Chains A and B, each alone.
Chain A
Amino acid sequence: MSIRDVFSKAFLKYILQRVGQCIIVIFIGINIAFIIPRLAPTNPIELKINQMLTSGASNYPEAVQLFREAMYDLYGLKGSLGEQYLSFWKRFLQGNLGPSIFAYPRPVMDLIWNSMPWTIGLLLTTSLLSWIIGNLLGGLAGYYSEKRWTKWVELAANCVRPVPYYIAAFILLIVFCFLIPIFPTTGAYAPGLKEGWSIQFALSVLYHCFLPGLSLVIVSIGAWLLGMRSLVSNIISEDYVQYAEVGGVKRRTILSKYIMRNAMLPQITGLGMSLGGIFSGALITEYVFGIPGIGMLSYRAVTNFDYSLIMGVSIFSIVGVAVSALFVDLLYPIFDPRVRLS
């Protein structure tokens, strides 16, 4: 396959179409993220006032009114929806998502950058691990389906696959933090450690993130395994596989070069989409294990009606999913010549 083949006229048209679609998806997504919080039956200022009134802080009526006006002004929530919309795009195009309302005056971008590494670290590792292990085991289970161990593997996968990841998280929490308390219940690393590139810190992160990671991996492995197994079972009966077997090609070669390679195509799409989803975080896992990731941040944003932060997290999520889909689309022709040629 030469470079010329890859970048044919048809393929360039294909790229442009996909990029255009991606931009449209992002634009629509951002608009929805702007509108939806504002349709909710509350807003951050009234929420703050209610919290203030029920906490016993100052509640002199004239002061409440003055406070309300000042807060609307401070958070840029004065003016019509249209004015807020225009001011949002103006800021957004300058790469500024404004200050968080919940954590004023800290910039939204700062909060996202602070949380993102934890989510990426956790979800990227677990997504890749589960994808690799699931597909390998699925391939083996599909090809060597007559072996006893593959039946056990398949049974295990069938058992864990329907379990929601948060149930797995709770089970692990109860077993390894309560019944056999060998893992910490909360946090991404031991209290008192400073974040940095030290072995002690890395080991502490591994120790603290083991259970959350495991809860995500064991559930996703099941899904990848069963998907791959089913794909392999179909491919195994294809003529070219039969022919290779009759021709005496080694079984290991048939599995890796004839079967797995073909079966990988839909799995690559799945991996792309799952990596895109990383930017939304794994809310419940992060909450259960106290991981300071993007899932927790978005939960805080929503429960506090922090418009700016909701927008920020949503934009990252929308861009993540759309760009991943674009990458998959762009990579597909490299793996599948049929797409490239048509």
Chain B
Amino acid sequence: MKRNVFLVACVLLAIGALAVYADIDPNKEVVPGVKRGDTIIIEDPTVTLVNPDNFNLWMAWSGGNGGYSTGLQQLAMDTLWYLDSDSGVKRAGVKDQTWHNSLAAEKPIYNKDYTQMTAKLKKGNYWSDGVEFTSADVKYTVEIQAQNPTMLFGAAFKVQVKSVETPDKYTVVFNLNKPNSRFHRNFTVRWNACWIMPAHVWQKAVKDPKDAMTYTFNPPVSIGSYVLKDYDKHGAWYLWERREDWKRTSIADFGMPAPKYAMYLMDLPNDKKVIDQTNHNLDMIHEVAPEGMVQLAKNKWETNWFQGFPFGHPDPTLIAILPNNAKAPFDNPDVRWALALSLDITKIAMASYKGAVTLSPIEFPPTGTSRQYYFDPMQSWLKDFTIDTGKYGKIKPYDTTVAQKIADQARPSFGDAVPKDPERVKAMIGQGWWKYDPKAAASLLEKNGFTQKGDKWYKPNGEQFKIKLQNWGPDRPVLQRLAMMVAELWTNFGIETTATWAQDNGTNYNLGQYDVNMGWNIESWGGHPDMSYFLDSMSSDYYTPIGTLHNGRNQIRYKSPELDKIITGMLSCDFDSQKNIDLGIEWLKLTTKDMPEIPLMSYNVFSSQDSTYWSGYPTFDKPYANTVTNWANSRYIFTQLKQMLPPTK
């Protein structure tokens, strides 16, 4: 007996000692010579890289190579302008904080007919090898890519750019093949943009333009405030070190980035993220499953966007149900409205995000500055909006009570974390969505010749109304849950719906060979109201029939002369003009009437931060940047962080 007690005591002592071993220690080394207290450890959601030696991120989406968000695009790359997807970092004397003239000295300058864009460059920015950044770098970046359409911006430049002139070291003039008032989009960062190449490095390495696709750009010469220190030969991590001369980079406009080192870890499964952050070995999680978020949020040291329910940062990406507008019966707006009215958004919100959603009834993401430009101004129009359902009569389908209902349903799980103040609830969950009204939905179907036999709906030609609801692959678990609930609701309504999935939505989506899809084709700048970002390719000029691959965002194959007018109007007015916003509202009204796709919610990203070693992360109340770590804009977070535990040895 005594021996057993002794053994148990030994085991307990050992466990205690081991727990101490895993304690917080700013002096422990992340890699030899690099202290934990000086290092921020960040999740990069990119898959483990199979070709980690390749830093040529101008290659077209070769995700298996050196990757984009290993710190490379966030810390070592730069371009002319940045547009923050939230409110941007406050700077004294700067009116538009979302816009940052990064390598450019001022905003883009267009000629009258938008066939020429001039960029004035800042002086005093240097590459990490000591060479000054000049207009020659920009010119080379455009010209080498235009010769290689398989490079990320190669095809875009080949199609758009006639020539590039550099009248002096700090001026670049782009002569365009046809008018384009949004050409600067190529050099304006949202998630990424065309990064500028160090011409002096590339010209030496790439003798034949074709070699640009095979050049590995290793080691990468940086124009950002960090340089590569080390990386895993199997692509599991990358370590960056702050440049001694960080003041000679564009980030100097915001002050010194606090972490001396930044380590990006690739491809962490959900459980491991939770474990690593709980053990204080992972400061910033890009995205974790809702269950993991709830678990992490219980800790005092944890920070998330809302500092509690609904936790996730709403990305400027609109999750929507995407019916194939070119395929009957989805080519009929009444049918699309019937599909919308047969959905109970509270059930969808609970099934997908456990209620932690930010809803949108209109075809625009409910994030960033969008409330100010679109959501608030649209409220009275939405409340008055009426549809004629036929036998059931005219209804006003907009429901402003749904956010409160979702909050009430979420409260048993999250308790006091769910706000009670109705204004706060609306700000977090949304101002409203469409009523769950199966009778109106049924009436709309009957109006169009559909019949109900038993509990099943039949099309006017007598065939049973069935839907195949295609969804993204297993990498998007929230979307999968969402699709399952939509399928259940439609099936309960009498439309037999089967949820299927295809990796990245599949080729049949691009070919238009599908019924209804679940995903997104509408994304906004977040910090700017301009809609041409996603809308211009939906012009009927680019419409492709079923069976022909689409060339833009109009996978749903929606066509409307009114939309064409809106797009033409947008592209012929200034990016920052009021007319641009007014036309945006026209789009929202048109699509509310037509319902070409059923908007649901923003893509909420459950990002979690550990404030043990670093604090000052962006939040809903201090929304200076998007919290997701793979966006290039995340570089601004570094300038706002505070070191909490500096190494003592």
Q: How far is the CA of A64 from the CA of B503 in the complex (A)?
A: 20
Which of B153, B503, B510 sits near A49, CB closer than 8 Å? B510
Which chain B positions have C-beta within 8 A of A3? none
Contact of A51 with B61 in the complex, beta carbons under 8 Å: yes
Q: What number of A residues sit within 8 Å (CB to CB) of B?
A: 65
Contact of A106 with B160 in the complex, beta carbons under 8 Å: no
Which of A42, A52, A180, A192 sits near B506, CB closer than 8 Å? A42
Q: Which residue of A lies closest to B160 (CB)?
A: A60
Which chain A positions have C-beta within 8 A of B272? 173, 177, 185-186, 288, 290
A212 to chain B minimum Cβ distance, whole angstroms, is 13
B507 in the interface (beta carbon within 8 A): yes
Interface residues of B in 134-176 (CB under 8 A from A): 149-150, 152-156, 158-160
- B261-277: CB near A (< 8 Å → 1, else 0) gives 00101011101100110
Contact of B553 with A106 in the complex, beta carbons under 8 Å: no
- B35-70: CB near A (< 8 Å → 1, else 0) gives 000000000000111110010000111111100000
Q: What number of B residues sit within 8 Å (CB to CB) of A?
A: 85
- A49-69: CB near B (< 8 Å → 1, else 0) gives 111111111111111111111
Which chain B positions have C-beta within 8 A of A51? 61, 63, 504
B544 to chain A minimum Cβ distance, whole angstroms, is 9
Contact of A58 with B549 in the complex, beta carbons under 8 Å: no
B30 in the interface (beta carbon within 8 A): yes
Which of B21, B237, B509, B541 sits near A50, CB closer than 8 Å? B509
Contact of A303 with B503 in the complex, beta carbons under 8 Å: yes
A188 in the interface (beta carbon within 8 A): yes
Which chain B positions have C-beta within 8 A of A174? 271, 275
Contact of A195 with B503 in the complex, beta carbons under 8 Å: no
A164 in the interface (beta carbon within 8 A): no
Contact of B271 with A173 in the complex, beta carbons under 8 Å: yes
B233 in the interface (beta carbon within 8 A): yes
B235 in the interface (beta carbon within 8 A): yes
Which of A42, A53, A55 sits near B503, CB closer than 8 Å? A42
A4 to chain B minimum Cβ distance, whole angstroms, is 51
B202 in the interface (beta carbon within 8 A): no
Contact of B62 with A102 in the complex, beta carbons under 8 Å: yes
Contact of B503 with A47 in the complex, beta carbons under 8 Å: yes
Interface residues of A in 62-82 (CB under 8 A from B): 62-71, 74
- A185-203: CB near B (< 8 Å → 1, else 0) gives 1111011100100000000
Q: State which of B92-100, B184-192, B582-590 sits at the interface with chain A.
A: B184-192
B279 in the interface (beta carbon within 8 A): yes
Which chain B positions have C-beta within 8 A of A67? 60, 149-150, 154-155
Contact of B510 with A304 in the complex, beta carbons under 8 Å: no
Interface residues of B in 54-108 (CB under 8 A from A): 54, 59-65
B616 in the interface (beta carbon within 8 A): no
Contact of B150 with A290 in the complex, beta carbons under 8 Å: no
Q: Which residue of B lies closest to A297 (CB)?
A: B50
B551 to chain A minimum Cβ distance, whole angstroms, is 4
Contact of B158 with A66 in the complex, beta carbons under 8 Å: yes
Which chain A positions have C-beta within 8 A of B521? 53-54
Which of A47, A54, A114 sits near B520, CB closer than 8 Å? A54
Interface residues of A in 276-304 (CB under 8 A from B): 287-288, 290, 292, 296-297, 300, 303-304
Q: List 23 A-B contacts (CB under 8 A).
A: A41-B508, A43-B507, A46-B507, A51-B63, A57-B152, A57-B192, A58-B155, A60-B156, A66-B149, A102-B64, A104-B59, A106-B51, A173-B271, A173-B275, A177-B275, A177-B279, A185-B275, A186-B268, A187-B237, A188-B234, A191-B237, A192-B30, A306-B64
8 cross-chain pairs, A with B, having the tightest CB-CB distances, nearest first: A192-B31, A103-B64, A102-B64, A292-B234, A58-B156, A103-B51, A181-B22, A63-B155
Q: Contact residues of A with B, CB < 8 Å?
A: 41-43, 46-71, 74, 100, 102-106, 111, 114, 170, 173-174, 177-178, 180-182, 185-188, 190-192, 195, 287-288, 290, 292, 296-297, 300, 303-306
Q: Contact residues of B with A, CB < 8 Å?
A: 15, 18-19, 21-22, 29-32, 34, 47-51, 54, 59-65, 149-150, 152-156, 158-160, 186, 190-192, 194, 213-214, 230, 232-237, 239, 263, 265, 267-269, 271-272, 275-276, 278-279, 281, 317, 473, 475, 502-510, 519-521, 523, 533, 536-537, 541-542, 549, 551-553
